[in-house]
Amino acid sequence: MAASGNPSQDTTGMNRPPASRENIPIIDLHLCRYQPAWDRQVQVHEKVLQGEWPDGALIFVEHPPVVTFGRRPGSADHLLADPATLDSRGVEVVQSDRGGDITFHGPGQLVAYPIIPLRRYGLGLLEYMRLLEQIVINTLEPFGIRGCRDSCATGVWVDVAGPSKIAQPDLVPAGQCVSQRANLQKVCAMGVKLRRWISLHGLALNVTTDLAYFDLINPCGLSRPVTSMRSLLGAQCPSIDAVKSRMMEEFWRQFHGD
Annotated catalytic residues are: 220
Distance from C-alpha of 118 to C-alpha of 48, rounded to nearest angstrom: 11
Closest CA to 78 of 69, 86, 87: 69
Cα(84)–Cα(202) distance, integer angstroms: 30
Residues sharing a CB contact under 8 Å with residue 195, sequence separation 6 or more, in sequence order: 5, 45
Return all residues near 74 (Cβ < 8 A) that are at least 6 apart.
221
Nearest CA to 203 out of 221, 187, 191 is that of: 191
Which amino acid is it at 35? Q
Q: Are 110 and 62 in contact (CB under 8 A)?
A: yes
Q: Give CA separation, 119 vs 2, 131, 200, 215, in Å.
A: 20, 14, 14, 39
